[in-house]
RNA sequence: GUGCCUGUAGCUCAGUUGGAUAGAGCAACUGCCUUCUAAGCAGUAGGUCCUGGGUUCGAAUCCCCGCAGGCACGCCA
């Protein structure tokens, strides 16, 4: 895949400007300029042309001339022959505005026809191995709103990166070791023993998990094994309970995420890092590199040597490595053992403080911290009837992913969670998300797709099918609505690249809202089915291209593209 | 207290990495269906870009003093 239509035209404009500069210098009208970088941008205001450049303003200082004079000179020396430039002028403080011949956009039709469901893809990533690790909810219970947002974000980001030419792996990190599993075990044990010894006879741990799911697991376990584990020693009992409940929970996570249209390539177990000895090995590296010391019976990492405010414990006084130690081992595994070029972690805002520590630790064990990018997802506020929802009515606990999907369609959830940048707080309006109206952006976009399908079906029933791009009178496309649609269609490949580079799937939702808006305008202004057969044909083709592009973007977001609504 | 993030229309948010008269959607108001889906379109109105300095041809954007809100600072994960 070579450069996109937009990249081509920018190159053409850049080239023309540089030649004009050279010509002006040869004629002695402008002096030599050091390292000129030509910036071509799309003006906000359509009256300012299709593209514009600030070159004259950048040059002005070195030339000791007014920007507008430099611009005048450049335009006079500009050779537009063989380009798509139809007109250019000086405007504002010294901008050079380019007005292009409308035909520059026509090739997008053939491009979309040729690439179809792959239109928008690029090889920018050159097949580099990227991992997106996301959700990674504690397997001790169900998923909450943060997981729901992180899930939608991570999944769409992974897909976006794939479209941009990266080799992407989706991974879920199962925290099945360490402290919180210990808590999980103690809670299960207490509930189990309470069944046989009575609630008063067995104290429930202070910091235990209170949830009904724990009691449920203990009950189910008792159904199968009866009182077999009442008399055994506590370690054996807890191990059996955890093995049972954990697998149930992981299976439930898989199922719930699958329903949410998220399928992970790898479910990576924290416990495997202990079994393989990688945690111990990682701690050895810290020691060998001279970044550790012992204090109060614990082994510390001298994080302050890496710009941190505090040192970190690697091994507790009780001999158990910290989550932090295991996490460093995990990232060594990702980057060294499995050779990912880039590891992207999606964490909740409450893990913010962990980012710098993690990067410092990677440096300490000899890994380039640049290999790790962390995306922080801000927490979600649910809004219902204009008020903040804090608790789930059903469980009395935090609202879970399943609670949300009871209220809202999967399409709406995935769309809404990708509407905003991840680092901004998100208000999720439950009433809006279920509303079937123009206020709801998901429906707005899907409606555009359905409308197009409806036109295609109508004309098809009259014997008019979508024509081949080669047999079209493309020059009949000239209405502003038509040209703007073409321009937006042409942007997709560039938009995918930009979104992938900045890790912002929200650019895709915005893109398809924009595209849908342009289509709706076109629909009102231009009739597809009309007297002129050639015009019908070319507009029908345009509709089909919009349909294809909407479908492609929605596919990237794993949102359905209905044919009728 | 220390560090990080955020502050843009009544509300929710964009703002092309320093560019032109700061933009959308919702809410408000005015119009548009005998013709391809009105779940739509066209238009009007709405601003101290948190305050105050600085950098320069030019600042919502970059730098400093404040103000307000959020988060993080455990031998938790």
Chain segment A175-229, per-residue pLDDT in tens = 998 888 888 999 999 999 999 999 888 988 887 888 888 999 999 999 999 999 9
Give CATH superfamily name and number for A129-177+262-283+323-377: HUPs (3.40.50.620)
The pLDDT score that the predictor gives to residue A250 is: 95
> Which protein residue's Cα is closest to nucleotide B14 at C1'?
A510
Confidence of residue A348 (pLDDT cuts 50, 70, 90): confident
Q: Is the pLDDT of residue A35 over 80?
A: no
At A346 the pLDDT is 92
Rounded, the Å distance between the CA of A44 and C1' of B15 is 10
Q: Quick one: average pLDDT of A535-546?
A: 97
- Give alpha helix (H) positions in A51-178: 55-63, 67-76, 107-115, 145-163
Q: Which residue is nearest to nucleotide B70 (CA to C1')?
A: A425
- Contact between A407 and A434 under an 8 Å Cβ cutoff? The reply is yes
Protein-to-nucleotide distance from the CA of A297 to the C1' of B62, whole angstroms: 48
Protein residue at shortest CA distance from C1' of B15: A44
Nearest C-alpha neighbor of A364 from the set A285, A438, A296, A418: A285
Nucleotide of closest approach to A90 (CA, C1'): B20
**Protein residue minimizing CA–C1' distance to B12:** A427
Model pLDDT, residue A390: 62
Nucleotide nearest to A60 (CA to C1'): B57
Interface predicted TM-score (ipTM) of this complex, two decimals: 0.93
Nucleotide with the nearest C1' to A481 CA:
B41
pLDDT in tens, A127-181: 999 999 999 988 888 888 888 999 999 999 999 999 999 999 999 999 998 888 8
User: End-to-end CA distance of chain A, in Å?
Assistant: 36
Taking alpha carbons only, the member of A40, A12, A470 closest to residue A3 is: A12
Tens of pLDDT, residue by residue over A229-283, are 999 999 999 999 999 999 999 999 999 999 999 999 999 999 999 999 999 999 9
Taking the C1' atom of every nucleotide in all shown strands and the CA of A183, the nearest one is B76
Report which residue is nearest nucleotide B5 when distances run from CA to C1': A423
Give distance CA A419 / C1' B59 (Å): 28
CATH architecture of A438-556: Orthogonal Bundle (1.10)
pLDDT at A50 over 80: yes
Cα→Cα distances A13→A9, A40, A102, A487, A492, Å? 6, 8, 15, 17, 20
Would the pLDDT of A438 be above 60?
no
| Contact call for residues A164 and A122 (beta carbons, < 8 A) | yes
The band of A44, judged by pLDDT with boundaries at 50, 70 and 90, is confident
**CATH classification (class only), A5-100:** alpha beta
* Position A42 confidence tier, pLDDT thresholds 50, 70, 90: confident
Any idea which nucleotide's C1' is nearest the CA of A54? B19
Calculate the angstrom distance between C1' of B26 and CA of A425: 18
- Listed as ranges, the nucleotides of chain B within 7 A of a protein C-beta are 2-6, 12-17, 19-23, 25-27, 35-42, 57-58, 70-77
Domain spans, chain A: 5-100, 129-177+262-283+323-377, 179-259, 380-434, 438-556
| pLDDT value at residue A436 | 60
Buried/exposed code over A33-66 (b: 16+ C-beta within 10 A; e: otherwise):
eeeeebebeebeeeebbbbbbbbbbbbbeebebe
- Who contacts A42 (Cβ-Cβ below 8 Å, separation ≥6)? A50, A51, A52
């Amino acid at each position: 895949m070579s450069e996109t239509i937009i990249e081509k035209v920018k190159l053409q404009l850049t080239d023309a400007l540089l030649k004009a500069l050279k010509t002006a210098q040869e004629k002695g009208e402008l002096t030599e300029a050091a390292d000129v970088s030509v910036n071509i941008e799309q003006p906000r205001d359509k009256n300012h042309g299709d593209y514009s450049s600030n070159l004259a303003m950048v040059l002005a200082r070195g030339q000791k001339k007014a920007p507008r004079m430099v611009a005048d000179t450049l335009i006079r020396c500009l050779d537009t022959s063989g380009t798509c430039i139809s007109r250019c002028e000086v405007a504002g403080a010294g901008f050079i505005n380019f007005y292009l011949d409308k035909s520059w956009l026509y090739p997008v039709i053939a491009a979309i026809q040729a690439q179809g469901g792959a239109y928008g893809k690029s090889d920018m990533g050159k097949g580099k191995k990227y991992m997106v690790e996301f959700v990674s909810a504690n397997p001790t219970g169900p998923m909450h709103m943060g997981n729901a947002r992180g899930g939608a974000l991570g999944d769409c980001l992974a897909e976006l990166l794939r479209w941009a030419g990266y080799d992407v792996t989706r991974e879920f990190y199962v925290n099945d070791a360490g402290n919180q599993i210990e808590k999980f075990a103690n809670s299960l044990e207490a509930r189990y023993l309470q069944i046989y010894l009575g609630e008063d006879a067995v104290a429930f741990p202070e910091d235990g998990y209170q949830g009904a799911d724990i009691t449920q697991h203990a009950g189910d376990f008792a159904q199968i094994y009866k009182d077999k584990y009442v008399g055994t020693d506590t370690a054996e009992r807890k191990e059996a309970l955890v093995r049972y409940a954990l697998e149930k929970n992981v299976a439930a996570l898989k199922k719930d995420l699958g329903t949410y249209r998220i399928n992970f390539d790898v479910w990576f177990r924290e416990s495997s890092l202990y079994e393989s000895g990688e945690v111990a090995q990682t701690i050895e590296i810290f020691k060998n590199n001279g970044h550790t010391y012992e204090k109060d019976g614990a082994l510390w990492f001298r994080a302050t040597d890496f710009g941190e405010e505090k040192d970190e414990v690697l091994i507790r006084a009780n001999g158990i490595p910290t989550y932090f130690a295991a996490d460093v081992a995990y990232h060594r595994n990702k980057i060294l053992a499995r050779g990912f070029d880039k590891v992207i972690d999606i964490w909740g805002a409450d893990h913010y403080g962990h980012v710098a520590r993690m990067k410092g630790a990677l440096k300490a064990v000899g890994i380039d911290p640049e290999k790790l990018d962390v995306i922080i997802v801000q927490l979600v506020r649910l809004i219902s009837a204009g008020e903040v929802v804090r608790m789930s009515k059903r469980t009395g606990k935090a609202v879970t992913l399943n609670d949300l999907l009871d209220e809202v369609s999967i399409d709406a959830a995935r769309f809404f969670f990708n509407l905003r940048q991840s680092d901004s707080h998100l208000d999720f309006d439950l009433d809006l998300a279920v509303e079937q109206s123009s206020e709801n952006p998901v429906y707005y976009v899907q409606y555009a797709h359905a409308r197009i399908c409806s036109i295609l079906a109508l004309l098809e029933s009259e014997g008019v099918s979508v024509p081949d791009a080669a047999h079209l009178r493309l020059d009949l496309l000239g209405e502003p609505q038509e040209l703007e649609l073409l321009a937006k269609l042409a942007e997709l490949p560039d938009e995918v690249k930009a979104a992938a580079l900045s890790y912002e799937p929200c650019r895709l939702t915005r893109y398809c809202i924009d595209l849908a808006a342009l289509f709706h305008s076109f629909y009102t202004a231009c009739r597809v089915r009309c007297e002129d057969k050639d015009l019908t044909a070319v507009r029908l083709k345009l509709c089909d291209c919009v349909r294809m592009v909407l479908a492609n973007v929605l596919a990237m977001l794993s949102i359905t593209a209905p044919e009728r609504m």
